[in-house]
A and B are shown apart, each in its own frame.
Chain A
Amino acid sequence: MGKWGVKKLVSSILPAIILSLVLGVSVTMAATISSSNYSIDGNLGGSFGGQLSSTNYAMTTIGGEAIVGSGQSGSYIIDQQPTNSVTPTMQLSVQPSGLVAYYPLDETSGTTLADASQYQHDGTLNSPATFDASGKLSGAVAMNGPTDSTGSGAVLVSDHANMPTGATMTVEAWVKQTSWVPNQTMVSQWKYSAPQSGSWAISTGPSNNSLRILLADSASDPGNNYVDTATNSWNTFNTWRHVVVTYDGNLSQANKVKVYIDGVQTGTTVTGTLPSTLYNSTGDLSIGSFPGRGWALRGSVDHVKLFNRTLSPAEVNAEHGAQNAGTPAGLTLGTLISGSTTSSADAIVRTNAADYGLSIQQDHNLQSGANTIPAVSGSIASPQTWSEGTTKGLGFTVFGAPTLDSKWASGASYAAIPSSATTFYSTSGHVNGAIDVINVRLRLDIATTQVSGAYNNTVTYTGTTIP
Chain B
Amino acid sequence: MKYWLGLLLCLGIVLSMQQSVAAEGSLQVQPLQNEASLQKGERKKGFIDITNPRPVDTKVKLSVAGFKQVDTAGNLSFYDSEQLRAGIMLDYEEYTIPANKTLRLFYIVDGTKLPTGDVFAAIFAQTINESTGSAASSVRIGSLLILTNETPGARQAEITKINAPWLQTGADVHGKVTIKNTAPPSSSSGFFPDVTIGLWPFGQTTSIKGPLVFAGNSREAKFALPSNQLGIYKLTASYGESKKTQWMLVVTGVWRWVALALVTILPVTIFGAVYYLRHRRRTRKERRL
- Report which A residues bind B (CB closer than 8 A): 46-52, 54, 57, 64, 68, 73-82, 84, 87-95, 104, 106, 135, 137-139, 314, 317-318, 321-322, 325-338, 343, 345, 347, 350-351, 353, 355-357, 359, 362, 366, 368, 394, 420-423, 426, 428, 442, 444, 446-467
Contacts and interface: CB of A to CB of B under 8 A. Distances in A.
Interface in B184-223: 192, 211-212
B172 interface: no
Given A84-B31, A460-B139, A463-B141, 4 more contacts: A330-B24, A453-B13, A457-B136, A461-B140
B142 A92 contact: no
Nearest to A348: B26
A95 B142 CA distance: 20
A38 to B, nearest CB: 12
B102 A79 contact: yes
Contact of B104 (A75, A325, A331): A75
A457 B135 contact: yes
A76 B23 CA distance: 27
Contact of B144 (A447, A454, A465): A465
Contact of B24 (A46, A51, A94, A356): A94
The CB with the most chain A CB atoms within 10 A, among B95, B102, B146, is that of B102
A336 B31 contact: no
B124 interface: yes
Contacts, number: 334
Interface residues of B, number: 90
A458 B137 CA distance: 6
7 contacts: A50-B46, A90-B32, A106-B99, A331-B22, A355-B211, A450-B13, A454-B16
Given A328-B55, A331-B22, A452-B12, A461 B30 contact: no
Contact of A68 (B45, B48, B95): B95
Interface stretch (B74-82, B148-156, B247-255, B277-285): B74-82
B29 A89 contact: yes
Interface centre among A76, A79, A446 (most CB of B within 10 A): A76
Interface in B1-33: 2-3, 5-7, 9-14, 16-33
A368 B36 CA distance: 46
A177 to B, nearest CB: 22
Contact of A331 (B7, B9, B24, B49): B24
Most buried by A among B2, B70, B104, B145: B104
Contacts of B114: none
Given A92-B141, A459-B135, A459-B136, A332 B92 contact: no
A88 B31 CA distance: 5
B163 interface: no
Interface of B: 2-3, 5-7, 9-14, 16-34, 36, 43-49, 51-56, 67, 70, 73-79, 91-92, 95, 97-106, 108, 122, 124, 126, 129-142, 144-146, 192, 211-212
Given A89-B32, A444-B134, A57 B102 contact: no
A464 B142 contact: yes
B23 A450 contact: no
Given A80-B102, A359-B78, A57 B45 contact: yes
Contact of A51 (B28, B45, B132): B45
Contacts of B145: 48
Given A333-B17, A464-B32, A76 B104 contact: yes
Given A68-B95, A81-B28, A337-B14, A137 B132 contact: no
A454 B32 contact: no
Contacts of B12: 452-453
Nearest to B15: A452
B78 A421 contact: yes
Given A332-B17, A451-B9, A454-B17, A91 B135 contact: no
Nearest to A84: B30
A462 B135 contact: no
Contacts of B211: 355, 466-467
B75 A357 contact: yes
Contacts of A91: 26-28, 51, 53, 141
Nearest to B97: A77
B1 to A, nearest CB: 11
A108 B14 CA distance: 42
Given A79-B102, A420-B78, A462-B140, A457 B45 contact: no
Contacts of A452: 9-13, 16
Contacts of A331: 22-24, 135-137
Contacts of A330: 21-24
A104 B95 CA distance: 24
B136 A73 contact: no
Contact of A338 (B10, B25, B130): B10
